[in-house]
Amino acid sequence: MRIAVIGGGPGGLYFAYLWKKRHPDALIDLFEQNAAGATWGFGVVFSEQALEFLRADDHDTVDAITPRMESWKNITLNLRGESVEIDGVGFSSIGRLDLLRILQQRAASVGVTPRYETLIQSADQLTGYDLIVAADGLNSLVRRTFEGDFGTSLSYSANKFAWYGTSKRFETLSQTFVATDLGSFNAHHYRYSPSMSTFLVECDLATWQRYGFAGKTVEESQAICERVFASTLDGHRLVSNKSVWRNFPWIWNEHWSFKNIVLIGDALHSAHFSIGSGTRLAIEDAIALAKALEAERDIPAALDRYQTERKPIVKKLVTAARTSAGWYEKFPEHMRLGLMDFAYSYITRSGRIDDARLRAMSPSFMSHYEASKHRLQQGGSKG
């Protein structure tokens, strides 16, 4: 089988590696428009169990990735100069470029030679392939070319965000919420190497407009964000890498394949950065597609199987991501809550965690939260 993989991100690289490893005689061409060392953003984050889905049938890749990861067990929330830790919510992170290099090495080890700095400008360039795997990201050319056939829907979150890095080291995945005279900001920050952290700044549209960010340069926006989060950054600067203000795009496709073309990763669906699952979803898509192709005798049946088995799983997570993003679109309102109520609202925002699960997962936090509610009730009854 001759396969074209469009896109050299985690999903495309991993599919190419996985299929070539299992089928050494396969002919795979992987096309990536950027250079091998180019990437957008800084670190990517995985939940504590995020790589365990790989370990059963690809422990070598997990063993290659985990030594390069930073890990922690808690989430820290910062509000009005106070902090609270939510225990038992483990995460790991890695630099996006580090992850790409590892996957590039894995692909090379089985004989995949990606064609970097090769732009596919038209689907007409892809004739002659038995299968075309479109892993070309949020702005997928392949998806846009056939969006009617894929049943593509595209919308945007109302909030604005800019993705920075910083040399400030943060001990856990942290969220810092800051109120200013012109509006409120939130920063998602976590270390992804011993010396670097992701620092993603978010605000609602009203705040963004009052600050006049539409007319600011990247450097001017960065300087404002450094002032807003001066106490959090503790003298460290923000680092820009195409760090322009954006609205998060919601991408969904009702039909995951068209003819011999199939979508994976961000080309297929997007999951909000507040739940940190985009890279994991792309790699899981690659695994699911490979398994479907191996389970069926012909490509159309395999692509149907891929969608049938994978779509309900992705739909559930994307729904949770939309619920989580909805909470963030109203975070200035949530900031009026007391610290413990705010933290409880935050950790239950996606609708996937109820009190029973929270008691089992985060016993220390839940004990403090329930004690604070009890004290409040006792104080009310005395009044």
Q: Give pLDDT tens digits for 19-40.
A: 999 999 999 999 999 988 877 7
The domain defined by 2-39+97-156+249-328 folds into: FAD/NAD(P)-binding domain (3.50.50)
pTM of the model: 0.92
178-230 pLDDT, tens digit per residue, is 999 999 999 999 999 999 999 999 999 999 999 999 999 999 999 999 999 99
Interacting residues of 59 by C-beta distance below 8 A, sequence separation 6+: none
Check whether 147 has a pLDDT greater than 80.
yes
**Contact by Cβ (8 Å): 75, 86:** yes
Check whether 377 has a pLDDT greater than 80.
no
Interacting residues of 339 by C-beta distance below 8 A, sequence separation 6+: 77, 79, 80, 82, 84
**Contact by Cβ (8 Å): 176, 78:** yes
The reported pLDDT for the residue numbered 38 is 79
Token pair for residue 343? Answer: 């933290």
Interacting residues of 192 by C-beta distance below 8 A, sequence separation 6+: 42, 43, 44, 45, 70, 93, 94, 95, 198
CB atoms within 10 A of CB 314: 20
The reported pLDDT for the residue numbered 44 is 87
Give the C-alpha separation, 200 to 267, whole Å. Answer: 22
The reported pLDDT for the residue numbered 274 is 84
Local confidence band at 332 (pLDDT 50, 70, 90 cut-offs): very high
The reported pLDDT for the residue numbered 221 is 98
Q: What mean pLDDT do residues 234-240 have?
A: 96
